[in-house]
Amino acid sequence: MSRTAGTLRRYVLQRLALVVPMVFILLTFVFLLVRVAPGDPVSAALGGRLPPEALAQRRAAAGYDRPLIVQYLEYLGNVLRGDLGRTISDNRAVSDVLVENGGATLTLAGAALVVALLAGIPLGLYSGRHRDSFGDVGVRLFGIVSYAAPVFFTGLILQLVFAVWLDLFPTSGQASPITQVRVDEITHILLLDALLAGNVDAVLDVVHHLVLPAITLGLLCVGVFLRLVRVNLIQSLQGDYVEAARARGIPERYVVRRHAFRNALVPVVTVMGLQTALLLSGAILTEATFNWPGLGSELVDYLNNRDYVAVQGIITVFAVVVVVVSLLIDIVNALIDPRVRY
Amino acid sequence: MTDEAVLRVRDLRVWYGTERGPVRAVDGVDLALVPGETLGVVGESGCGKSTLGRGLLGLLPEGAKAGGEVRFRGTDLFELSGRALRELRGPELGMIFQDPLTRLNPLWRVSEHFEELLRTHCPDISAEQIRHRSLATLRRMGIPPTRYRNYPHEFSGGMRQRIMIALGLVLNPAVLVADEPTTSLDVLVEAQIIRLLADLRRNFDTALLLITHNLGIVAEACDRVAVMYAGHVVETGDAREVFAAPAHPYTRELLRSTISLSTTGLHYIPGAPPDLVDPPPACRFHPRCPDAMQVCATRDPVTVSPRPGHRVACWLHGPAEQVGAGGDAPLVREEIDVADEA
Ligand SMILES: Nc1ncnc2c1ncn2[C@@H]1O[C@H](COP(=O)(O)OP(=O)(O)OP(=O)(O)O)[C@@H](O)[C@H]1O
Ligand code: SF4
Ligand SMILES: [Mg+2]
């Protein structure tokens, strides 16, 4: 046991060391992406709205008149200190944007992941177990369609059917105004705050609002999980150790459940990590469709206002989230699969 | 000899469905195993030895079909319910697979394999008994108790082979199929394992079907031998007698190809074993047989019994009246070009 713990600790340390260059590379990408375009953020956001002298003054104050490389180093330094700058259009600290709107995105992404896993894993297992049956064909078709359908299209259909026609769910927003007012902000995650306050009505209200956006975003990822689980299960069921378990007289349901399923699910964790990027990009569109007050909505607003400082700040956070999640996923993987640790 | 047989195989046929048509890997095999007896199965690679071994447990890979009967203590395995057959596997019918590296579940400790096996077949067993029995069996295989809780990837190939053997032995099955159980072991361990298998049948009256490429092992450790060629058993009999005086040309050639190593350099049988989708008609060995006659290419050989307990399917021993006029004239065929083959 102690041996296992030792190798695990070493693995985690190695993996942590890898995070440094990964973050560095990503930050460089973000900087290049946002800043390599001609012009500077101040002119982009305020150009034409201020007299040229005032513009130049603001530019100098923000340091955009210095060489790009200096700005790049400063950006890295600021990010490392946790300073993401202030937005140009409405002069908020980007970190405040994160705090105020990050919770909604987190809630949405988490719920969508749950939807994707709850639907994708059972469907994939069913499909793999009953390969080439009618059900399998149907499930696979569903996987392809749900992945290929654009997020806003899925969202609109769901809104139309479940919100407008059937009137089961609200069309947009994170909660009714009354809930927003009544729940004290503690964590800035509305759902969590409502839970902490023990306010059942508020919790139900948020969940009620959450259902359609979560399904919309979840459907984007469900196909990936479904196909992955299906293929893995089919492979596992033909695996040598599965045959060996059968030869030892292990009941088929246990062969499937304990040997094949578990092994088929190992890659799901990895893919879950890889889905973070898909999830975040899907969240932007979902939030826009459902008017969900998360980072994605903010990002779209700031993009429309050409506020590149805000955009850069939010994308930086997205990038860091992707790296951190991939780190966590690798550690979870090492816990599940002993072979990974070496 | 026949009535006390614990396992009796009649006209067993196993074929794999492939795109090119059925691969008739086992094609009409008759066998009987009495308690405490070791039957060696030899033959070139691809002649159906492993398929026969699986067939004895009623274990068919996906896409495989079987005909004929395999009777364990009188009941036909192919007529048993899935559950009844499963309950026989493990405590009555054991199997040690050919490729040990991939036969253990990579996510499970060795201990978990034993726990699952013993709990399945002995529902009332205590954790302490499980540990005791597993460790005792592993120790006989030279695996120290300290390794009990290790994962498969922490063992060498030979050790995994021995763990697989221990898993096969721990329930003392009445019939044990051992498919090349010593191929990945060094000579010393090999001798040790063979001795262990010999002990097993002496102490527990286990009937052992030992599949091997090593004719030396057969000569030393087997009571009887079955020689397989292209899905058929072409000769069976007392191991020593068959080796001293092989009746079938294939047996003779197989023996020559090993012994002559020390005498006149490597002797081998020209040509390759036939394609089992479309095997040669009549005697399947006729394209390669040095003794082939006219009749060999036109009619299936009849199985005859030159001595009690000794059976051979070859026209050299066939009933003279069935060979027919001129049937014993040498077969004229295109010369197998040895250079081309190589
Ligand atoms: N799952 C399968 N699907 C299709 N064909 C198969 C399958 N398993 C085995 N075969 C074919 O059946 C024939 C017999 O295979 P088998 O494994 O029984 O041979 P073997 O005598 O054990 O060979 P070896 O000595 O190499 O282990 C071979 O031609 C092989 O290609
Ligand atoms: S039947 Fe004919 S071809 Fe076949 S082994 Fe005997 S002699 Fe050779
Ligand atoms: Mg084999």
Task: Write down the pLDDT at residue B2.
Answer: 46
Q: Report which of B29, B26, B28, B33 is spatially closest to residue B8, judged by C-alpha positions.
A: B33
- Tokens standing for residue B84: 């009844």
d(CA A205, CA B235): 80
d(CA B258, CA A93): 83
pLDDT at A186 over 50: yes
CA distances from B197 to A171, A253, B186 (A): 72, 32, 16
> B16 CB less than 6 Å from ligand 1?
yes
**Pick from A241, A251, A337: CB nearest B102:** A241
d(CA B80, CA B93): 14
Which of the residue ranges A23-27, A124-128, A176-180 has the most confident prediction, judged by mean pLDDT? Answer: A124-128
> B314 CB less than 6 Å from ligand 2?
yes
Q: How does B18-55 read in b/e, with b if 16+ C-beta sit within 10 Å?
A: eeeebbbbbbbbebbbbebbbbbbbbbebbbbbbbbbb
Phi, psi (5° rounding) for residue A66?
Answer: -85, 165
d(CA A236, CA A242): 7
**Pick from A240, A246, A249: CB nearest B87:** A249
Q: Where are the domains of chain B?
A: 103-165
| CATH fold group of domain A97-304 | MetI-like fold (1.10.3720)
Task: Write down the pLDDT at residue A87.
Answer: 82
Q: Report which of B70, B89, B199 is spatially closest to residue B140, judged by C-alpha positions.
A: B199
Collect contacts of B62-66 with beta carbons under 8 A, ≥24 apart: B62/A237, B62/A238, B63/B16, B63/B17, B63/B18, B64/B14, B64/B15, B64/B16, B64/B17, B65/B14, B65/B15, B65/B17, B65/B22, B66/B12, B66/B13, B66/B14, B66/B15
What integer is the mean pLDDT of A50-76?
80
pLDDT at A340 over 90: no
* pLDDT beneath 50, residues of chain B: 1-2, 337-342
Identity of the residue numbered A276: T
Residue range A238-294, pLDDT digits in tens: 888 999 999 999 998 888 888 888 888 877 877 777 778 788 888 888 888 888 888
- Tokens standing for residue A186: 């503690």
DSSP per position, B233-258: EEEEEEHHHHHHS--SHHHHHHHHHH
d(CA A45, CA A65): 16
> B26 CB less than 6 Å from ligand 1?
no
For residue B97, the ligand closest to its alpha carbon is 3
Contact between chains at A339 and B121 (C-beta distance less than 8 A): no
Asked whether the beta carbons of A86 and A308 are under 8 A apart, the reply is no
Give B-chain residues touching A247 at CB under 8 angstroms.
Answer: 57, 59, 89, 94-95, 97
Instruction: Write down the H helix ranges in A63-184.
Output: 68-80, 94-129, 134-148, 151-158, 177-182
Question: Which strands sit side by side in the sheet containing B207-211, from one edge to the other?
Answer: B93-96, B175-179, B207-211, B38-42, B224-229, B232-238, B310-313, B303-307
Asked whether the beta carbons of B300 and B335 are under 8 A apart, the reply is no
Asked whether the beta carbons of A182 and A202 are under 8 A apart, the reply is yes
Query: Nearest CA to CA, how far is B187 from chain A (Å)?
Result: 26
Closest Cα to atom 6 of ligand 2: B314
B95: left (phi over 0), alpha (psi -120 to 50) or beta: beta
> From the CA of A240, how far away is ligand 1's center (Å)?
14
Tell me the pTM.
0.75
Identity of the residue numbered B193: I
> B12 CB less than 6 Å from ligand 2?
no
CA distances from A236 to A239, A310, A329, B50, B294 (A): 5, 47, 22, 21, 50
Residue from A236, A248, A250, A253 whose CB has the most chain B CBs within 10 Å, to mutate: A248
Which of the residue ranges A178-182, A184-188, A310-314, B188-192 has the most confident prediction, judged by mean pLDDT? Answer: A310-314
What would you measure as the largest C-alpha separation in chain A, in angstroms? 85
